[in-house]
Structure 1
């Protein structure tokens, strides 16, 4: 039977499927692992698509119960994300300021690396997918250096996959930094979606084997 899932997770996966952002096949990851699925959020590049995507982020953030007063989007993919998520939250009556960063500091005009509203006291980082977690940890350092607290990390897809230290990047953030995390969808949701939409059995079996070998809690 397909795993239990949220409405917003299934809508997000349907959206990713529509835009070919969720692909099935064989994909070599930076880690060297060969994955039977791949997610590239950059494929969702239209107004209607971003609106649906942001709605999923806003729903997941609300569901997580994280207390926050500001959003931050790491350059580059986090920039359109944080802006559209703020718009989605405004649709539900919450007007949240957002900030993003430049890759390189600006040496003229207002200068600096941060753009947008001043960081709040409790900031949620909005990004797409965490692999090694390097970019998010850089964002954490930047936010803390500015005197703010990182209230949480919100991403699109949690691959629920072990990193180098046998923990998922999200679990490592929670355990090492004390930062709560939330995802619009997880690998379990991907499997459930594949089963519900009638993806061929061999592909579903390949995803299950991959999770069995590399998933959090799986034995080596």
Structure 2
């Protein structure tokens, strides 16, 4: 697979997601009850080569942001339990491989769903968060609830959330309060998080990336259905 519009690491990640069955095309009912023509499940990156692919993509996205005009300075990569725990730990490992001069001593942390009442106790495993700048790494943002909970836990521990990195930005609006009417302008969950917390939210891939990167490489009907879905549920932000 090759693309003139996507960075090589994005193309490689997209190919790995398809080869590993992480990114599928068809008809899928989401939590929002919308019927999506594609489905992305980062929980399926459980094989060594696939975990390597996603951690590399996270790390290269971080490095790309670092080298941009708006660099991100952080001390800890945080993975909300449970799905993001291996994502955060493997990303730290990959960062140290790709840029040891900057990330050799980078730390990770993750939370417990329930506080441990014996041993070292507490709700956080890994590096202490107090006074540290924290980057949250996770798979996707659906409604934003899980990210708000993670931000709350990090702040409780004295950490400072400086950004969020997800694997995929679906670029779709939240359901309207009076029903999921496609004609009602609504922001995206990612847009709401940016506005509410004043922090950047990045993604390895967006829906635009998937569509543009796969034109001529998957069935034309699948591309057309994704384009229609994008128009129907496009966020206002």
TM-score using structure 1 length: 0.94
Q: Which residue pairs with 2:167 in the alignment?
A: 156
1:203 aligns with 2:222: yes
Give the distance between the partners of 2:4 and 2:200, measured in 1 at CA.
23
SS at match of 1:79: helix
Question: Of 119, 122, 147, which aligns to 2:158?
Answer: 147
- CA–CA separation in structure 2 for the residues paired with 1:67 and 1:171: 21
Partner of 1:114: 124
Residue pair 1:10, 1:189 contacting (<8 A) in 2 also: no
Question: Gapped runs of 5+ residues in structure 1?
Answer: none
Q: How far did residue 3 of structure 1 move?
A: 8.0
- What SS is found at the alignment partner of 2:215? helix
Whether 1:86 aligns to 2:87 is no
Cα deviation for residue 181 of structure 1 reads: 1.0
Aligned residue runs from structure 1 range 16-31, under 5 A: 16-31=17-32
SS at match of 1:31: coil
Partner of 1:98: 108
CA distance in 1 between partners of 2:236 and 2:228 (Å): 14
Match of 2:81 among 75, 78, 98: 75
**Residue 44 of structure 2 corresponds to residue 43 of structure 1:** yes
The list of structure 1 runs, each at least 4 consecutive aligned residues, that deviate by more than 6 angstroms after superposition, is none
How far off is 1:162 after superposition? 0.5
Which structure would you say has the larger RCO, counting Cα contacts within 8 Å and 6 or more residues apart? 1
1:196 offset after TM fit, Å? 4.3
Q: How many residues align?
A: 216
